[in-house]
Structure 1
Amino acid sequence: MDYPNSVPSVGLVDGRFIDENAISGAPGSLIPAAWGNGVTQEILAVVKSAGIAPDENDNAQLLKALQVIVGKASPMLSVVKNIAVSRLLESDELGLLLVNGAADAVSITLPPSNAGLGVRDVIVRRVDNSGNRLVVQCSGADNIKFHTHLRSAGYPFLVLMGAGDWWHLRSDGAGGWWPVGRFDGTPLGRPVFETTTAFSPGGYGALNGAILSRAEWPWLWDHAKVSGMMWTEATRVGAEGGWSSGDGVLTFRGPEGRGEFLRVLDEGRGIDPGRNPGVVQRDQNRAHIHTPTAVAVGEGAANGAVFQTSVWSLRYTLPYQLVGTTPVGTGLSNEGGAEARPHNVAYPGRLKLI
């Protein structure tokens, strides 16, 4: 595109347009038909490339076309949209989506990731802290490419858990949505301690051996299957720290950690040999001997009776006497509780579910 320098037309100076000069009698520029048609074709080419039908009554079509083209060249548009009901998103709604599931469960369906959509970004952020399920779903056979170490194709949906949880996704134009960022990237299935009884956002549930749906948590079920810590419900007793196959068809069970001390698996070191991951080890004391020490009580003690003390932790109710080798007296009292345990603090346990 350029000025019509090659057109020997009256009213052009160095190919540029000029106004008519009534005083000198110089005529104004006459626009050649070839140049006028060329300008129109240049503009129409931009409008049509954006998928917009030309309309001679719409003088904003070039701007609209440029917005569409720039949007495809720069994946992130400055669109902020609030959503509170389930719906299919349009391609021009991608940007920052603020989703509220306080009233009910919500399912947001992404537009197809195809050549027409191109490379586009969407940030989906949850704003409510209710327990309602909030799903970000793909269209058709599209997949979100997360936890691809478990399933190379990815998964058809993800869930947002807790106020502030967010995922930043980018389409590849070929059926895939790729995570660019997320609120919490803690590895799937990891147990953690919290200093609050509330659930933190980012994909956490209770470490309580709950029964889960394979259809609702397919990535967690895939994780459990390759964990090396899988049991059936019938064989799970004594291995509650592992996973179970649930009903064998629709469900599975997560690890149980409530009230337990967690110990690092030996894995060949020899300090705690013969252990399988997730298997419970019952409490016990280290083998030791309680050695009583006989102490004479002085003259007058019948038959050489003595008080007994101990160099260990037995607690005696005095007087406790030994006559020869036969103890007489009021006997010993118990000390301790139902299990052996160190001094400790109890924090809520959580499990990374996504």
Structure 2
Amino acid sequence: MDYPKSVPSVGLVNGRFVDENPLAGTPGSLIPAVWGNSVTQEILGVISSAGMTPSEADNGQLIKALQTILGRSSPMRSVVTRLTTSKVLAADELGLVLIDSSAGASTVTLPAANAALGVRDVIVRRVDNSGNRLTVRADGNDRVRFHTHLAANGYPFLVLMGSGDWWHLRSDGTGVWWPLGRFDATPLGRISFDSARQVLPGGYAVLNGNLLSRSDWPWLFDLAQSSGVMVTEATRVGSEGAWTNGDGATTFRLPDIRGEFLRVLDEARGVDVNRLAGSRQADALESHNHFLPTSSGTAVRPTPSLPDSLWDLTHDVNAAPVSGTLGTTFPNAAYNSGDSVGNIGGFSTETRPRNIAYPARIKLI
């Protein structure tokens, strides 16, 4: 594209346009048709290459076309949008979207991922740490393609959980938003232990057996259904480590492993046979013998041993116990004295090893 230097025309000086000068008697420039048509065609070429239909009534098509074309090579714009309430995002608000839901539950809706939007990126990031639900929803029948191993078309929305949780999404112009990155990509349903009581951002919850709505957590319900670890609500007792089908229509229940020891499922090894995933197993002691004194002294007792004075109620140093043994009697202050070397430990309503308790978390999204 250039000035019409090679086109003979009135009022052109070296092919450039000039104004009329009445005093000098020189006319103003007349735009040559060939040049005017070529300029128009140059602009229409940009508009058409962006996949747009030229419109005589739309004076903003060139900038829209340039944005679309630039978006294809660099989908992320240097735009920061801040929200404190529910909103439908416009195309020019895509970029880094910072959302504060501390005032209440909110929904941010993405623009339609159609040809007019083209290939565009957005990072949606939560800035508050309240428990209010924050939903990022695709427009109409659009979908966000995450957890496609559970649903090939993805899901119509996602949720941001905790301050700093974020997702990086890209539209493909055909009704789909593709996740490119997120704050925490730990697999859905993964159980982990934490060293703090606070639930960390990224999509976690306490494994407390809560009832959840299937419509609020469709991907999690899909996981529960396909897990092979789901029982009915009526058979939950004894299988608290499993999912349940809730009311059978609108809800389902998380596993509850609070206060429990965990054991690896046997899965045909033959060590802990006939166990179902998520099932609870009662306390048990391995079969064993007790060694009791047959005479005074300690020669026939296993060591370390309690002194004679603690073995029986009416101790006679020259005779065998005559009225039972405190060593196998509950409670027994000699045994119930801590967990240091030389002591058995405290009596309790359960059999347990020494242990440390950490909070358990489950990945919800």
Aligned match for 1:328, one of 320, 323, 334: 323
2:162/2:201 contact within 8 Å kept? yes
Is the partner of 1:159 in helix, strand or coil?
strand
**Cα separation, partners in 2 of 1:296 and 1:74, compared to 1, 3 Å:** closer
One-letter amino acid of the counterpart of residue 192, structure 2: V
C-alpha RMSD of matched pairs (Å):
3.5
Q: Which structure shows the bigger proportion of residues in strand conformation?
A: 1
Bigger shift: residues 271-280 or 125-134: 271-280
1:4-153 matches, cutoff 5 A: 4=4, 6-7=6-7, 33-38=32-37, 40-42=39-41, 44-45=43-44, 48-49=47-48, 66-153=66-153
Partner of 2:310: 318
1:79/1:94 contact within 8 Å kept? yes
2:75/2:120 contact within 8 Å kept? yes
Partner of 1:300: none
With the length of structure 2 as denominator, give the TM-score of the two structures: 0.80
Is the partner of 2:78 in helix, strand or coil?
coil
In structure 1, list runs of 5 or more residues that go unmatched. 20-26, 298-305
Partner of 2:21: none
Residue 296 of structure 1 deviates from its aligned partner by 3.3
Bigger shift: residues 317-326 or 227-236: 317-326
| Aligned equivalents of 1:32, 1:330: Cα separation in 2 | 119
Residue 12 of structure 1 deviates from its aligned partner by 9.1
Is the partner of 1:351 in helix, strand or coil?
strand
| Aligned equivalents of 1:313, 1:104: Cα separation in 2 | 65
One-letter amino acid of the counterpart of residue 108, structure 1: V
1:47/1:61 contact within 8 Å kept? no
| Aligned equivalents of 1:245, 1:269: Cα separation in 2 | 29
Partner of 2:245: 245
| Aligned equivalents of 1:194, 1:107: Cα separation in 2 | 30
2:262 aligned with 1:262: yes
**Cα separation, partners in 2 of 1:280 and 1:294, compared to 1, 3 Å:** same
Partner of 1:272: 272
Bigger shift: residues 325-334 or 77-86: 325-334
1:209-245, Cα deviation, whole Å (9 max, x unpaired) = 1111111011111100111111111111111101001
| Aligned equivalents of 2:125, 2:357: Cα separation in 1 | 32
1:262-302, Cα deviation, whole Å (9 max, x unpaired) = 121121222222211111112222222112242336xxxxx
1:22-47, Cα deviation, whole Å (9 max, x unpaired) = xxxxx999776135414531454267
| Aligned equivalents of 1:91, 1:313: Cα separation in 2 | 80
Is the partner of 1:273 in helix, strand or coil?
coil
